[in-house]
Structures are given as C-alpha cells and as structure tokens.
Amino acid sequence: MKKSAFLGIGILIVTFFIANQAHPIQPDRFFDTVVKRVGVCPKPTGFGVCAELCGSTCPYGQLCCSNGCGHQCMNPAKAKPRGKCP
C-alpha cells in the first residue's frame, strides 16, 4: 500500500475516536445499528398502556411495537412466509 493510503486510514481512525469521545456509543445501541432486528411486531389484542415506553432502546431480540395505544418492547411474532419465488 502507498503511504497516502495508510495516512487516509489513520485519519479515519482518529476521526472515529474523536467523534466517539464527544458522543460515546452505548453498547446496546451499537448492536442496534449494526444488527438488524428480526421479526415483526405482534398484532395488538386490545388497548394497552397509553405511554411511549420505548424508542430504539429495547433489549436485544425485542422490537418497539404498538400495544394498542402506546408502544412498548415486545418479543417479535413469527412472520408468515410470503409466496414462493419461481
């Protein structure tokens, strides 16, 4: 590799660490940005608590879903498979 490539990579690494010091990434939120949550929200079965109890802060494996009035962390429901590809 050329020296300019090493310099560019070094600048990116230093920039990342400086930015991370200003706004540190929380471990649970880091995985949310890297790993896509799998599954679909279950259908609400009635009226739930009318409060917003989550955003993007659900524990790993859960989704922020409607409970019929507000939102709360829930385990995902299994998605029904769509049609078959030819």
CATH number of the domain to which 41 belongs: 4.10.75
Task: Look at residue 53 and tell me if it is in a domain.
Answer: yes
Residue 13 lies in a domain: no
Interacting residues of 68 by C-beta distance below 8 A, sequence separation 6+: 44, 45, 46, 47, 48
Domain of 51 in residue numbering reads as: 37-78
Number of domains composing the chain: 1
- Express each pLDDT in 4-28 by its tens digit: 655 667 665 656 555 555 555 555 5
What are 40-70's pLDDT values in tens digits? 999 988 888 899 999 878 888 899 999 999 9
pTM above 0.85, yes or no: no
| Domain assignment present for 54 | yes
| Residue 32 within a domain | no
Does 27 map to a domain?
no
Number of other CB atoms surrounding residue 67 within 10 Å: 20
Residue 69 lies in a domain: yes
Asked whether residue 24 is assigned to any structural domain, the reply reads no
Pairwise CA distance, residues 19 & 14, whole Å? 9
Residue 64 forms part of a structural domain: yes
Q: Which among 47, 85, 46, 50 is positioned nearest to 71, based on CA atoms?
A: 50
